[in-house]
């Protein structure tokens, strides 16, 4: 079973809802999208759903990194609840010692360490059609390595899309 587009609703009270159509167009039309927005704007929980609206997640997983395990679990739980699906089915999460995904999973929220480990097994990230790197402003070694690696990978995989989000990032400088 896959998530139906009518299930994908963006709560109007979130600031990101005002930019939903623009973001869907950007995700559909550009291989790399940088999204800056304040904490609490809905970036983490709504961008994977906007990716679905843009047609992503059909040819592979939407991978969504979080810097911390608690955040990965809570973001996945919120997305699953809003979509009306069971956690571990169409929306799952992977953190150290806990992997709640299955063959139906379309959105996989994980720590950046999990994605790094996956790179060693699958350097092309062939299971994914979209990667969301959240909280890029934290500039950890993991995030910096992932972004540097993805920059090279995008040339080999033009169908792979990358979304980078941050609360405080300089989008012009970062886009370079």
CA distances to 33, 114, 117 from 121, in Å: 26, 11, 7
- d(C-alpha 23, C-alpha 35), whole Å: 9
| Residue 62 CB neighbours (<10 A) | 26
* Biggest CA-to-CA distance, the chain: 41
pLDDT at residue 134 above 60?
A: yes
Q: What is the mean pLDDT of the chain?
A: 92
Q: Which of 28, 2, 40 is nearest to 163 (CA)?
A: 28
Q: Answer whether 171's CB lies under 8 Å from 103's CB.
A: no
Tokens 């291989």, located at residue = 31
Domain boundaries defined on the chain: 26-170
Mean pLDDT of 62-70: 96
pLDDT at residue 68 above 80?
A: yes
CATH no. for 26-170: 3.40.50.300
CA distances to 3, 27, 80, 136, 143 from 89, in Å: 10, 24, 9, 27, 27
pLDDT digits (tens, 9 = 90+) for 156-168: 999 999 999 988 7
């Amino acid at each position: 079973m896959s998530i139906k587009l009518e299930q994908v609703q963006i709560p109007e009270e979130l600031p990101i809802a005002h930019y939903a159509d623009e973001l869907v167009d950007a995700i559909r039309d550009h291989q790399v999208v940088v999204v800056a927005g304040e904490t609490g704007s809905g970036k983490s929980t709504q961008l994977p759903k906007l990716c679905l609206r843009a047609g992503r997640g059909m040819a592979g997983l939407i991978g969504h990194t979080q810097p911390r395990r608690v955040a990965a679990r809570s973001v996945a739980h919120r997305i699953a609840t809003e979509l009306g699906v069971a956690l571990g089915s169409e929306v799952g999460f992977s953190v150290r010692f806990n992997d709640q995904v299955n063959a139906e999973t379309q959105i996989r929220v994980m720590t950046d360490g999990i994605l790094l480990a996956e790179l060693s097994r699958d350097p092309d990230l062939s299971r994914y059609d979209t990667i969301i790197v959240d909280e890029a402003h934290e500039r950890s070694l993991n995030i910096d390595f992932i972004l540097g690696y993805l920059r090279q990978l995008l040339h080999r995989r033009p169908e792979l899309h990358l979304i980078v989000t941050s609360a405080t990032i300089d989008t012009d400088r970062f886009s370079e």
